[in-house]
Amino acid sequence: MAILEREEWYDLTRTTNWTTKFVTEEEFYPDEMSGHRGIPAEAWETYDEPYKVTYAEYVATQREKDAGVYSVKAALERDAFVDRADPGWVSTMIAHYGAIALAEYAASIAEAKMARFAKAPGNRNMAVFGMMDENRHGQIQLFYPHANVKRNRQWDWAHKAYHTNEWAAIAARSLFDDIMMTRDAVATSIMLTFAFETGFTNMQFLGLAADAAETGDHTFASLISSIQTDESRHAQQGAPSLKILIANGKKEEAQNLIDTAIWRAWKLFTALTGPILDYYTPLESRKESFKEFMLEWIVAQFERQLLDLGLDKPWYWDQFISDLDETHHGMHLGIWFWRPTVWWDPAAGVTPNEREWLEEKYPGWNNTWGECWDVIVDNLQNGKPELTGPETLPTICNMCQLPIVGTPGQGWNVKDHQLEHNGRLYHFGSEVDMKIFQMDPERYQNHMSFIDRFLAGEIQPMDLGGGLKYMGLSPGEMGDDAHGYSWLEAYSTKKSDDAA
């Protein structure tokens, strides 16, 4: 018996909808959860997911993907790449797993919300697959680092990070809570699957895979690029939602959701992905700079798709383009400086050769960021390591929950954007962060940043020990320079070369 082609039966079967008898349709799909926005069911039935798969196809394909990835891991296990990898690369993996693994589980819940509450049948169907995808990503990205827990307790943070109040974990939770855990199904399809997954996950899962392959870490390259094949399918849930919102006069709202998600994702990536690609990855393994990957994946590929769907560039476009040269350098400097407060060992990444690379990729780096690093290098060389660590807390942005940074040295533009709202003073790292707050203050006003909690007396005792305890960082977990400061030798060599 011949089997029907998918397209001969798929649309009909997946559009099957319930007519509820025991409850009203509104009770079945409350707006708060479904986000139908008063758009009638018939309109949602026009939702046409562009990347269709059947359950049988899904299972067969996923089996192949896992077979491929696990076989690479099994084949390379005895090679013990981790033991001879550059420490900067090990930090990359530890930071990655901690920031990502449990967020994948949370994403599975967000997909489940769409699978249950989306009014568009096609969205519900795709979200079932998305839910299983994210479960796969959570499990596999806990399984891989678990093999390394015997090497170093920081690897345990793959599981631990999101259960703590470590500051970077607070920032990551703040983003994901905002774009996927506290939004209705339609907004989730737009903010999570469209803005975050069509856009930003490519940076962390393909940009980084390119560097991993160059480093020789084929296990990691194979893993994260395989994860991204799931993403590229289930990320296609957002565009059909956008088309329906635009066709029903809701373009402005759709644009706001996207603009908010892009900016918030961008900020987190300046702290996570930027330092990894431009500083932690060994110089000889850097395929492209963070900025170049941003231009490839976000500007040329993702933002261009935004235009094709009838949307506009985000209103903060010029600021965003300009920040591609700046923000992540500040985040990196801050993270290295406050290194005991993160669960990985930040690599400085500023040997003379690396600085040459940075200057080439970011003209002016030496006159700005370089001036700060000059001071750090001097202090380390002169036996004053105590001057290369923090004495105060950084000001933290009440939107992105990351330190407020700017360009130092000759390009000085650091600014704390302040806003008084209902008798409370809020701080923001940029005008954009502040505007996002002002567009929906009720959503954000009660959140306490790490600094707010400190000032409110929630962190006790009010000293380093109390802070590290609050963040869940035990000895053996808190970060220190990835290379144990051995990179300073390159400066001594340079000095004696210069003298000669």
Q: Is residue 420 a contact point for other proteins (CB under 8 A)?
A: no
| Residues between 144 and 203 with contacts to other proteins, criterion CB under 8 A | 202
Cα diameter, the chain: 89
Least distance in Å: CB of 497 to other proteins?
30
| Residues between 200 and 229 with contacts to other proteins, criterion CB under 8 A | 202, 205-206, 209-210, 212-214, 221-222, 225-226, 228-229
Q: Is residue 340 a contact point for other proteins (CB under 8 A)?
A: yes
| Residues between 468 and 487 with contacts to other proteins, criterion CB under 8 A | 480
| Residues between 222 and 281 with contacts to other proteins, criterion CB under 8 A | 222, 225-226, 228-229, 231-233, 236, 239
Least distance in Å: CB of 456 to other proteins?
13
Q: Is residue 451 a contact point for other proteins (CB under 8 A)?
A: yes
Pick from 136, 329, 427, 483: which binds other proteins (CB under 8 A)? 427
Which residue, 299 or 490, is less far from other proteins as judged by CB? 299
Least distance in Å: CB of 177 to other proteins?
25
Which residue, 15 or 17, is less far from other proteins as judged by CB? 15
**Binding range to other proteins, per CB under 8 A, among 176-184, 267-275, 367-375, 390-398:** 390-398
Least distance in Å: CB of 57 to other proteins?
5
Q: Is residue 390 a contact point for other proteins (CB under 8 A)?
A: yes
Pick from 93, 368, 467, 482: which binds other proteins (CB under 8 A)? 467
Which residue, 181 or 213, is less far from other proteins as judged by CB? 213
Q: Is residue 333 a contact point for other proteins (CB under 8 A)?
A: no
| Residues between 71 and 130 with contacts to other proteins, criterion CB under 8 A | none
Which residue, 41 or 128, is less far from other proteins as judged by CB? 128
Which residue, 187 or 206, is less far from other proteins as judged by CB? 206
Pick from 263, 269, 279, 454: which binds other proteins (CB under 8 A)? 454
375/366 Cα distance (integer angstroms)? 12
Q: Is residue 51 a contact point for other proteins (CB under 8 A)?
A: yes
In SS3 terms, the chain reads as: CCCCCHHHHHHHHHCCCCCCCCCCHHHHCCHHHHCCCCCCHHHHCCCCCCCCCCHHHHHHHHHHHHHHHHHHHHHHHHHCHHHHCCHHHHHHHHHHHHHHHHHHHHHHHHHHHHHHHCCCHHHHHHHHHHHHHHHHHHHHHHHHHHCCCCCCHHHHHHHHHHHCCCHHHHHHHHHHHHHHHCCCHHHHHHHHHHHHHHHHHHHHHHHHHHHHHHHCCHHHHHHHHHHHHHHHHHHHHHHHHHHHHHHCCCHHHHHHHHHHHHHHHHHHHHHCHHHHHHHHCCHHHCCCCHHHHHHHHHHHHHHHHHHHCCCCCCCCHHHHHHHCCCHHHHHHHHHHHCHHHCCCCCCCCCCHHHHHHHHHHCCCHHHCHHHHHHHHHHHHHCCCHHHHCCCCCCCECCCCCCECCCCCHHHCCCCCEEEEECCEEEEECCHHHHHHHHHCHHHHCCCCCHHHHHHCCCCCCCCHHHHHHHHCCCCCCCCCCCCCCHHHHHHHHHHHHHHC
Pick from 9, 77, 412, 492: which binds other proteins (CB under 8 A)? 412
Total chain residues near other proteins (CB under 8 A)? 79
| Residues between 286 and 325 with contacts to other proteins, criterion CB under 8 A | 287, 291, 295-297, 299-301, 303-305, 307-309, 313, 321-322, 324-325
**Binding range to other proteins, per CB under 8 A, among 93-101, 391-399, 428-436, 491-499:** 391-399
